[in-house]
Amino acid sequence: MRKNIVAGNWKMNTTVPEGVQLAKEVVEKSKEVPAEVGLIVATPFTHLCPVAEVLKGTRVELSAQNCADKEKGAYTGEVSVGMLVSTGAKWTILGHSERRQYYGENDSKLVDKVQLALAAGLKVILCVGENLDEREAGKHFDVVKTQTENVLYHFTAEDMKNIVVAYEPVWAIGTGKTATAEQAQEIHACIRKVLAAKFGAQVADDTTILYGGSCKPSNAKELFAQPDIDGGLIGGAALKADDFIGIAMSF
């Protein structure tokens, strides 16, 4: 049985004290959320250690938003998977569209990053999604299929136990423009089919697939009611504990 998860991606927002305060509020309000729903906060690197302290012994898990594509060494400014694990992080987001768009993240780099993350014992939220031009050209299924295959087909069914996929249409991220429940569902179903083709129906069925893109308390219920949508990767709305928890209450 796959798990429902709501993960907050704080992106490059909040100072350390603000992030600690937000984490405290999320922990406090998380008591309202049914126990079977997984809760994750993905903080900036600088926040991982102090937020890990806040989350210790709670149900809220800690994630990074990226990791280096090398294990260690002379890579100024990079943060390795080993460093992430040593903070208490259990997850990392990889392949977010903002990293693909602004920092040249490509599928082959992502294969290296996923490999390193899994080897270090981190779980991965792998993001895929088409941009507006690709959607308008009717290429959205192909783009998402290719992105998914290019990275995940390098891994095994066993690895998939530690990988969550997030479908994030780029045109819906931070724009206030949410994909309709039907648009999201048909892509989620497509991702599950792509996983089934490589790993078999059971693995596909067991994989959590999140939706991301202007998800908020007012639209989460309809999205999460879709058979292949198992939760959300939340950007803007994750910066307010009430909204983040409101989304997590929407199953």
- Which residues are catalytically annotated? 96, 168
Closest CB to ligand PEP among residues 79, 233: 233
Q: What is the β-pairing status of strands 123-128 and 91-94?
A: parallel
- Residues near 4 by beta carbon (within 8 Å), at least 6 away in sequence: 36, 37, 38, 208, 224, 230, 231, 251
Shorter beta-carbon distance to ligand PEP: residue 203 or 216: 216
Q: Does 105 bind ligand PEP (CB under 6 A)?
A: no
By the rule CB under 6 A, 103 interacts with ligand PEP = no
Question: Footprint of ligand PEP on residues 28-67 (CB under 6 A)?
Answer: none
The Cα–Cα gap between 164 and 125 comes to: 5
- Work out how close the CB of 236 gets to ligand PEP at its nearest, in angstroms, rounded to a whole number: 3
87 binds ligand PEP (CB under 6 A): no
Q: Can you tell me the distance from the alpha carbon of 174 to that of 215, in angstroms, rounded to the nearest whole number?
A: 9
Output the smallest distance, CB 4 to ligand PEP, in A: 17
Which one-letter amino acid corresponds to residue 152? Answer: L
Binding mask 200-239 for ligand PEP (x = CB under 6 A): ------------xxxx-----------------xxxxx--
Supply φ then ψ for residue 41, to 5 degrees.
-120, 130
Give least dist CB 244 to ligand PEP, A.
10
Q: How many residues bind ligand PEP (CB under 6 A)?
A: 13
Side-chain half-sphere exposure of 248, counting CA atoms within 13 A: 29
Q: Which residue is nearest to ligand PEP (CB)?
A: 235
How far is the C-alpha of 38 from the C-alpha of 27, rounded, in Å?
12
Interaction mask 174-203, ligand PEP, x per CB under 6 A: x-----------------------------
Nearer residue to ligand PEP within complex by CB, 44 or 212: 212
Residue 32's CB: how many other CB atoms inside 10 A? 10
Identity of the residue, 55 or 234, whose beta carbon is nearer to ligand PEP in the bound complex:
234
Least Cβ distance, residue 125 to ligand PEP (angstroms): 9
Closest C-alpha to 126, from 210, 184, 222? 210
* Binding of ligand PEP by 168 (CB under 6 A): yes
Q: For ligand PEP, give the closer residue by CB, 17 or 174.
A: 174
State the minimum distance, in angstroms, from the CB of residue 200 to ligand PEP: 29
- Contact between 9 and ligand PEP per CB under 6 A: yes
Can you list the positions of beta strands (E) in the chain? 5-9, 38-42, 60-64, 91-94, 123-128, 163-167, 209-212, 231-234
Distances (CA, A) of 13 to 43, 46, 144, 192, 215: 8, 11, 28, 32, 18
Residues in contact with ligand PEP by the rule CB under 6 A:
9, 168, 173-174, 212-215, 233-237
